[in-house]
A = this chain, B = another copy of it.
């Protein structure tokens, strides 16, 4: 029923050592004769031998498995990235163990422990929280880590992320070119580095255009709720802005909701621009401009970076 090296060994009268060597492509290296090698290969194929990963990893301490640590798999943005990563590593013979931290630092700790106990060969993570220590320790002492989307400025860990600064700078510039002068930026989690970069992009675009005094940043979370509340406040303020720059898709949805509720419309009463791509934005009335992030490429690249490190030992 279950084929193992020794079951083949008995049938062929060849030691498991030799069989193992042939099957792992080390026949030449250990000078196994071509005849023997052929015999082994044929028999392994015939009986559909599949090595036991448990035994292999017990022995070698490698699992051909990588851990994917995501803040929220159900978030379309991270779902896209995850999908790209999974496909890429699968195609290289690796398997993905996915852990969902639900954007919670405590849960993240547990997930990390689980991933490590499963002896993943490497980790790709979009970390939550701002403590880089743990990741740095893992990267230095246990297994390679690649961060995606989010990262830490102070840590020596490779990462893949969009050019958040430039994206925000460009988005703001477009609004400026269209004549807007009162542009409010609704930001997300202020501890998030991508958020900081975007905010900086916004600030610099305004400043370089000579409107440094017009900088207005509000909000503090990547949520619909935040976008909604901040927009409500803006609408009821004495000096209404003419444009809103939402730093994420979720924030944008909140903005739209508030504007609609106030009986106002886009783009007549307000111009809106957002970060993050989402197919649905094309179908809004009117379609919402946004700074798209190349999720697919980010995922692929992160996977490649990790796989490269795994190969180079």
A interface list, Cβ under 8 A from B: 50-55, 57-58, 63, 65, 68, 72-76, 79-80, 82-84, 86-87, 90, 95-100, 102, 110-111, 113-114, 116-119, 224, 253, 256-257, 260, 278-285
Task: Check B118 against A95 for contact (C-beta < 8 Å).
Answer: yes
Bound state CA distance, A79 and B76, in angstroms? 7
Task: Check A102 against B87 for contact (C-beta < 8 Å).
Answer: yes
The answer to whether A98 and B100 touch (CB under 8 A), given A53-B117, A72-B83, A118-B53, is: no
Bound state CA distance, A82 and B68, in angstroms? 14
Query: In the complex, what residues of B have CB within 8 A of residue A52's CB?
Result: 58, 117, 119
Task: Check B96 against A98 for contact (C-beta < 8 Å).
Answer: yes
Bound state CA distance, A118 and B51, in angstroms? 9
29 A-B pairs with C-beta separation under 8 A: A53-B54, A53-B119, A54-B63, A54-B119, A58-B58, A65-B97, A65-B118, A68-B98, A72-B83, A73-B83, A74-B80, A74-B82, A74-B84, A76-B76, A76-B79, A86-B99, A86-B100, A90-B114, A95-B114, A97-B97, A98-B98, A224-B279, A253-B280, A257-B282, A260-B283, A260-B285, A278-B280, A280-B284, A283-B284
Task: Check B100 against A97 for contact (C-beta < 8 Å).
Answer: no
> Which of the listed residues A51, A97, A102 has the most CB atoms from chain B within 10 Å of its own CB?
A97
Min CB gap A70→B, angstroms: 9
> Which of the listed residues A63, A72, A73, A114 has the most CB atoms from chain B within 10 Å of its own CB?
A73
Bound state CA distance, A114 and B279, in angstroms? 32
Query: In the complex, what residues of B have CB within 8 A of residue A87's CB?
Result: 100, 102
The answer to whether A117 and B50 touch (CB under 8 A), given A86-B98, A98-B86, A253-B283, is: yes
Min CB gap A83→B, angstroms: 4
Query: In the complex, what residues of B have CB within 8 A of residue A95's CB?
Result: 97, 99, 114, 118
Given A50-B117, A76-B76, 8 other A-B residues pairs in contact with their CB atoms under 8 A:
A53-B54, A54-B58, A58-B58, A65-B97, A73-B86, A74-B76, A253-B279, A280-B284
Min CB gap A57→B, angstroms: 4
Bound state CA distance, A97 and B94, in angstroms? 11
Which residue of the partner chain B has the closest CB to A82?
A: B73
Task: Check B283 against A113 for contact (C-beta < 8 Å).
Answer: no
